[in-house]
Amino acid sequence: MNVTTPSPPDGLLSTIMPSLPLSSVGINCSWTTILTILIPSYLLLIRHLRFQRLHSYRTRFPQYFLPDGSPANLAKMTLQDAHQILINISQREFPYLYQRSLFFALFKTYAIPSISSLLLATGQLSSNKTASKRATDTEILIMEIVINPPWEKRGLEALARMNWLHGRWQKAGRIRDGDLLYTLSMFALEPERWIGRWEWRGVSQVERCAVGVVWREVGGLMGIGMEDLERFAEKNKGEGEKGDEEEEESGLEWMEKMERFSEWYEDTEMQYAESNEEVARHTVDFLLLSQPRMLRGVGKGFIGVLMGRRLREAMNFPEPPQWQEKSLTWILLFRRWVLLHLSPPRFEWMVLHKLNKDVDPATGKYHFNVYELDPWYVKPTFWSRWGPSALLRRLSGAPVPGDGGSRYQPEGYSINEIGPEKLKGQGKEEIEEMVRDLERRRMELLAKGGCTGGVGGGRCPMGLA
């Protein structure tokens, strides 16, 4: 006998159980739970990873911290430690804005009439080709000095080449000590300003001290006289400031001196001149060459925003529309928010090296790996010629590596040949002697327990003194 269970009426079933399928409810609940866990976890992970390198200083360099994490003993910071911290800032934490701020630091010096008039006299801004090569050569020398330790030969070669190129004009009385000191201050200070304004975090006191230690050393090795800085610091010393000349000066204190000096120098020397305007026009023109023609007006406006009022007035640069200022500000602020909250930090395998660590065995020269102007010294490869950035350049009519045959010197560069074409191959003997002199000078100071390093007499680079 078959027994059947009566089914409940449809109305009763719909009352007891909603029409939404149980499987759908389960899936929705599962995804809600997963997202509720994953999103906060991801945000916390990014936050932890973002600040990991900053927090690692306390374990890597405990001698510069108190138990509560406050900075201490900064006057004892060695050049070796300072250089490691600077590499972290420039290559890993803030590579994008750091490298662009160095170029802007150089551009800012063009608002000093004595500097801009000398640039015009060299003829290096007379065409887009010479202007782009000069900008690339300057960037390479600066990056060689920043990336390579000042006590190693490659860094000393870059310093010697820079000294040789400047030496011709110094002997002729065309380069003033104040101009050199102001330029040095821009390389030390401008990256920190850009990072503080637009990056996902500002520079810490320990990092600022490290920047000061390295650039103070570079200034000393370049023979930049610090007398103007010392006279200015002494003249403008506050009532509560220390006056013991024998006390060691930290890189942090040197940076503060340089900041006050640069502000005073701009108040005194940064004023309109026709040479400023002409140099600025040439520079901006070749900066925009790689951009699509329809976007060059917007690009010029964005450059004007970054310049600020004082620099625009000194160069007679047009004031950008208010909408461009607001647009660029929001773009950079949005980038900062994304980096801080959503984007993981640049891991070691992701570090983009602008300069080759080793020479190309086929040419015996170094290659420039990342370019934004013309492809000077860039090795032609399938990726460099047909990658995404190369395709964008092709659309705008800009050259890519390998274009023009040997025009952009795709074989690479030698440090002792960097500079104007007419000076290529010149000064090799003098530069080699300069390098030997710098090496002797450092070894002598090490033997005496001291070190070069501008104001305050820096510590020993290897921590031996």
Tokens, residue 186: 């821009």
Q: Is residue 179 in a domain?
A: yes
Of the candidate ranges 8-17, 39-48, 129-138, 302-311, the one whose mean pLDDT is the lowest: 8-17
Cα–Cα distance measured from residue 336 to residue 350, given in angstroms and rounded to the nearest whole number: 19
Global pTM value:
0.85
Of the candidate ranges 144-158, 221-235, 389-403, 450-464, the one whose mean pLDDT is the lowest: 450-464
> Which of 396, 404, 368 has its CA nearest to residue 288?
396
Task: Give 257-268 pLDDT, tens digit per residue.
Answer: 999 999 999 999
Of residues 414 and 245, more confidence is placed in 414
Q: What's the pLDDT band for 333 if we cut at 50, 70, 90? A: very high
Query: If you search the block for the tokens 């976890």, which residue do you land on?
Result: 41
Identity (one letter) of the amino acid at 313?
E
- Is the predicted pLDDT of residue 163 greater than 60, yes or no? yes
Range(s) of the domain holding residue 220: 69-236+248-322+428-448
Q: Is residue 58 in a domain?
A: no
Q: What's the pLDDT band for 311 if we cut at 50, 70, 90? A: very high
- Is the predicted pLDDT of residue 422 greater than 50, yes or no? yes
Q: Is residue 180 in a domain?
A: yes
Cα–Cα distance measured from residue 308 to residue 418, given in angstroms and rounded to the nearest whole number: 32
Q: Is residue 458 in a domain?
A: no
When the pLDDT of each residue in the chain is averaged and rounded to a whole number, the result is 84
Task: Give 69-120 pLDDT, tens digit per residue.
Answer: 899 999 999 999 999 999 999 999 999 999 899 999 999 999 999 999 998 8
Q: What is the structure's pLDDT at 287?
A: 85
Q: Is residue 128 in a domain?
A: yes
As for how many domains the chain has, the answer is 1
Torsion (CA) 140, 118, 126, 314 in degrees, nearest 10 = 90
Quick check: 465 and 446 in contact, CB under 8 A? Answer: yes
Of residues 191 and 132, more confidence is placed in 191
What percent of the chain is predicted at pLDDT more than 70? 85
Quick check: 114 and 179 in contact, CB under 8 A? Answer: yes
Identity (one letter) of the amino acid at 205?
Q
Q: Is residue 76 in a domain?
A: yes
- Is the predicted pLDDT of residue 377 greater than 60, yes or no? yes
Q: Is residue 408 in a domain?
A: no
- Is the predicted pLDDT of residue 449 greater than 90, yes or no? no
- Is the predicted pLDDT of residue 352 greater than 90, yes or no? no
Give residues with Cβ within 8 angstroms of 152, minimum separation 6. Answer: none
Provide the H-helix boundaries in 69-171.
79-87, 95-109, 113-122, 128-147, 153-171
Other Cβ atoms within 10 Å of 85 Cβ, number:
25
Q: What is the structure's pLDDT at 455?
A: 37
- Is the predicted pLDDT of residue 203 greater than 90, yes or no? yes
Residues, the chain, total?
A: 465
Torsion (CA) 313, 266, 201, 99 in degrees, nearest 10 = 80
Q: Is residue 396 in a domain?
A: no
Task: Give 172-186 pLDDT, tens digit per residue.
Answer: 778 888 899 999 999
Cα–Cα distance measured from residue 403 to residue 385, given in angstroms and rounded to the nearest whole number: 9
| DSSP codes of every residue in 164-191 | HHHHHHHHTT-S-HHHHHHHHHHHHHHH
Give residues with Cβ within 8 angstroms of 220, minimum separation 6. Answer: 226, 452, 453, 454, 458
Q: What is the structure's pLDDT at 3?
A: 47
H or E element in which residue 198 lies: helix 177-198
Mean pLDDT of 241-253: 68
What percent of the chain is predicted at pLDDT more than 90? 50
Task: Give 138-158 pLDDT, tens digit per residue.
Answer: 889 999 988 988 778 898 999
